[in-house]
Amino acid sequence: MAFIDVMRAEGHAVESVCRVLSSQGCQIAARTYRSWKTGAVSARTQTDAIVVDALLASEPVRAAIMQSALKEKTSRASAYRRARGYAMEIAADYSHPVVRSASLL
């Protein structure tokens, strides 16, 4: 991000810098850079995190995570991170209203 800031200070457009970075294997969209700069977290991201945290805190899911850790001989933390990644991926596949309605259950 600091590199893009320096390039902007030199008069380069964010889109141009991101395009060059992408051609060099560093994939970043101009809109991603701008969202990082504003520091704003979208309502969608907040809702996904709330729903996923509630799901992972439920007793049946916690038990399944523990069973997975024992079966695969990994740490509970590693199994939890993997489960959270799967849950976030699934949440991303659904529209925001669907995920938001799940938070009401």
- 16-72 pLDDT, tens digit per residue, is 999 998 888 888 888 888 888 887 777 888 888 888 998 999 999 999 999 999 999
Amino acid at 12: H
H or E element that contains 19:
helix 14-23
Closest to 103 (Cα-Cα) out of 44, 40, 62: 44
Unique residue bearing structure tokens 């699934």: 90
> Which tokens in the block code for residue 28?
């970043």
Integer-rounded Cα radius of gyration of the chain: 19
To the question of pTM greater than 0.75 for the whole model, the response is no
- Are 88 and 52 in contact, with CB atoms under 8 Å apart? yes
